[in-house]
Structure 1
Amino acid sequence: MFPTHDHIPKEKSVELFKSLTVHEKKFGERIRIESVILSKRKVQYEEQIKENPFHYDVWFDYTRLLISEGQERAEVEDCFERAIANVPPYMEKRYWRRYIWLWVYYAIYEELDANDPERCREVWTACLDIIPHRQFTFAFIWLMFAQFELRQLNLTGARKILGVAIGKCPKKKLFREYIEIELKLREFDRCRKLYEQFLKFVPDDSMTWMKYAELENLLGDDARARAIFQIAVQQPMLDMPEVLWKAYIDFEIEQGENERVRILYESLLRRTQHIKVWISWLEWETSNEEFDKARALYKRANQALEGSPAEERLLLLEQWKQFEQQHGTEEEQKFVEKMIPKRVKKRRQIIAVDGTDAGWEEYFDYIFPQDQDEHNIVEDREVCRKLYEQFLKFVPDDSMTWMKYAELENLLGDDARARAIFQIAVQQPMLDMPEVLWKAYIDFEIEQGENERVRILYESLLRRTQHIKVWISWLEWETSNEEFDKARALYKRANQALEGSPAEERLLLLEQWKQFEQQHGTEEEQKFVEKMIPKRVKKRRQIIAVDGTDAGWEEYFDYIFPQDQASKINFKLLEAARAWREKQALAMQLEPHEREDEEMEES
């Protein structure tokens, strides 16, 4: 052993070790030379650590030196313990990134070099205890600890670690690694639960939805995979929606569900009119040799992309042209040829960043034949509008004209304008056929799928008229939409509203209600309606001739409604109660006068 150097000044210590090293190289043995060099390096590291104990790279070099030189385990562990004692003074992750690897290196040493699993477990546990998880965490620490337990064949311990990790810091990496472990163990139910927890944490992660659906598909549960895809595409926010939709469509193609594929493309096109969606659908239809469907789809896509950039429209037309060359007739090829745009050279002014004129540049533009045709149509459209407006100034009560005007706007695709025309029309003080106009307005909103607007219109119409046909129309529409609870509530409301109407109308409503409950109601609801069905009774009434003389009697049928009978009984009871109250009040008024008369008689 060499004497300690703590009492020797730094300058003399360095010179001393230098002289000793030279001496040992000349006269010493190999072991003594290595020992001197090791001691010298230890002194250097100790001095650097003394100057800055948070210099973690020095600690790494120091521990590596001790391990590589085969120093005693106690000395190595002491070095590690001294190193990890220097916890970063700031609660910011960037200061901890280097420090945390000291713990990792320490745990690896205990597992591989010292071959002490228990000590290694203690190191991992202490490492996790010291990390301020509320501020930040390190996912890889949890994972390395779990992997250590798996190497020790402690599956329960590994699951417990990962479960705690997900609870404290639900990171994507942790979920994915945990799922991967369970997949390798063929624990598919656990995988499902993990995916569900994962997606609660990141519902916008498209890749996770896809992996979950892929798992179910691999397990042969196509219905479950489809349900996962359906929930996924309904999320309000997704990081890669186009990738998810493609995976969903590819899944249905793989299943051979052609109609489902078409429904998916329709749904996707309601969200985006991107050219790639159209091209993908068209290529799929063509690959299935559905040439008629593909041709109809090309026409539809061409119309839908009229407002898109010229390059996208040209791409579609070029592909359509190629399609017709392969699968179409000469007439169909000519039809597409006529729509190919002309490429023309144009000039435009260049404006610099500072707003000054920077000259002119040439560019190529495309002129589409159908755009020219539409320009003419727009002009004709405006002429028609002006004619209708002038016509309706002259005959504002003409329902058919209002309907034709709204129909024109609907055909032109201007739903808002058509709706506005209907609104103005039904507000006219006088109309020749209001019921026809209202029906057309309601049918328009039904066609648009605006269910709430339809209900508002029926409410408005019922404020104007309580006709049985309005109630029946509304009830049939709600039933056709399978809104059975709404229809049932509406039947009750209509039955109350029509209490003063003719018996035939009330009976018509109840018969339809009875039929509705037989199809869609419970036994209790059917009995409820049965109780309201009226009794058909035969009656006699006197016939009065035109001149006012008695012309005999005739028999007729009338209907007695149970609710009317109940109302009459209640009315009689109320009348009796009112008469009794009046009698009591009169008696109270007379009582003082009777007492005065008695007193006078006694006197």
Structure 2
Amino acid sequence: MVSVCEKDSKLPRPTRVKNKSPAAEQILREARERQEPEVLPSEHSITDSTELSDYRLRRRKEFEDRVSRGGRSDVQVWVNYARWEESQKDYARARSVWERALKDHHRNHALWVKYAESEMKNKFVNSARNVWDRAVYLLPRVDQLWYKYSHMEEMLGNIAGARQIFERWMNWSPDQQGWLSFANFELRYNETERARSIYERLFRCHPKASSFIRYAEFEVKCGEVSRARDVYERATEKLEGDYEEAEMLYLAFAEFEQGCNEFQRARVIYKFALDHIPKGRAEELYTRFIAFEKQHGDKQGIEDAIVGRRRTL
């Protein structure tokens, strides 16, 4: 005879609820946990090929029913369907599902990414290339597509192919980060001259202080101080009249000369900038100039800088 204690020990222990009003996330999580056994029967319940075929037929019908009941507009329904087909190793069916999804959601770049990545994961490299190619053709302004496409080729060791993808991307004049990614790609393979050429194209596409500064910093890292100085000098001519951009440039130029221990050059840059930028826009310049004189100048220089600033107030 089984005692009450023994009976109790066999019963599942009740869940202790600390919060009598559980959060929505907890409710959803528990609901999913309860549903999981219903979604996919455990493998040991399928004993032969006939049962497996029946299971697959039933699951496909469930997915098709979801699609027909309005799931076409829900991208995740398609993604789950395609991934289930992949889990069954039926890659042709999976590909068909992805393609059907794209007919309804061809502007959804995340769907293209998932499709291409699934092909890559399953080692269908040429199919992945085809997907990426179609994606960047249709959505050339979505940087993520170009990044991932070039990254795939680079990981495959197809450096020339990755470079070609970057070149196609640059034809669309992407933002500064796209150009910098291209330059960094070349530097990973010690292609310094190629990277330098990309920086030249960058500032022609984006004639901003930040473009010139990144170019000059690149030259400094390469140990080309004279080239870096030349970049800054060219930039001052390009940005003349654009006071906001020019101030940023002059500050970086002066800091560069300080880093080279060229204090007189830095002083000349500060003074030149203060002479050419309207006083009302030069607050940061004066602040940095005074700090510079306190560190590297003499008493007269400090006084002149302070007096110059007071005149703007």
User: Which range, TM-score by smaller chain?
Assistant: 0.7 to 0.9
The equivalent of 2:95 in structure 1 is 124
Instruction: Output aligned runs, 1:492-571, within 5 Å.
Output: none
TM-fit CA distance, 1:248: 1.5
In 2, distance between residues paired with 1:148 and 1:73?
20
In 2, distance between residues paired with 1:243 and 1:316?
17
Q: TM-score, normalised by structure 1?
A: 0.40
Asked whether the 8 Å contact 1:142–1:161 carries over to 2, the reply is: yes
The equivalent of 1:141 in structure 2 is 111
Q: 1:74 aligns with which of 48, 57, 74?
A: 57
Q: TM-score, normalised by structure 2?
A: 0.73
In 2, distance between residues paired with 1:196 and 1:78?
45
Q: Describe the shift of the 1:131–1:231 C-alpha distance in structure 2 as closer, same or farther (beyond 3 A).
A: same
Q: 1:278 aligns with which of 240, 247, 250?
A: 250
The equivalent of 1:209 in structure 2 is 179
User: Larger helix proportion, structure 1 or 2?
Assistant: 2
Instruction: Output aligned runs, 1:383-532, within 5 Å.
Output: none
State yes or no: 1:182 paired with 2:146: no
In 1, distance between residues paired with 2:276 and 2:67?
66
In 1, distance between residues paired with 2:78 and 2:196?
45
TM-fit CA distance, 1:152: 2.5
Q: Describe the shift of the 1:308–1:217 C-alpha distance in structure 2 as closer, same or farther (beyond 3 A).
A: farther
| Count of residues in Structure 1 that have an aligned counterpart in Structure 2 | 265
Decide which structure has the larger Cα Rg and report it.
1
In 2, distance between residues paired with 1:261 and 1:76?
64
Q: Which amino acid aligns with 1:198?
A: W
The equivalent of 2:11 in structure 1 is none
In 2, distance between residues paired with 1:126 and 1:209?
35
In 1, distance between residues paired with 2:57 and 2:76?
20
User: Larger strand proportion, structure 1 or 2?
Assistant: 1
Asked whether the 8 Å contact 1:111–1:120 carries over to 2, the reply is: yes
TM-fit CA distance, 1:86: 4.3
Q: 1:194 aligns with which of 157, 165, 173?
A: 165
In 1, distance between residues paired with 2:123 and 2:92?
13
The equivalent of 2:302 in structure 1 is 333
Q: 1:247 aligns with which of 214, 218, 235?
A: 214
Asked whether the 8 Å contact 1:210–1:244 carries over to 2, the reply is: no
* SS of match in other structure, 1:190: helix
* SS of match in other structure, 2:186: helix
What do you get for the CA RMSD once the two structures are aligned? 3.0
* SS of match in other structure, 2:170: helix
* SS of match in other structure, 1:339: helix
In 1, distance between residues paired with 2:292 and 2:93?
69
Q: Describe the shift of the 1:65–1:81 C-alpha distance in structure 2 as closer, same or farther (beyond 3 A).
A: farther
In 1, distance between residues paired with 2:307 and 2:101?
75
Taking only the aligned residue pairs, the percentage that are identical comes to: 20
Asked whether the 8 Å contact 1:103–1:123 carries over to 2, the reply is: no
TM-fit CA distance, 1:228: 0.8
> Which blocks of at least 5 consecutive residues in structure 2 are unaligned?
1-31, 46-54
The equivalent of 1:15 in structure 2 is none
State yes or no: 1:229 paired with 2:212: no
Q: Describe the shift of the 1:73–1:132 C-alpha distance in structure 2 as closer, same or farther (beyond 3 A).
A: closer
TM-fit CA distance, 1:243: 4.0
TM-fit CA distance, 1:302: 1.5
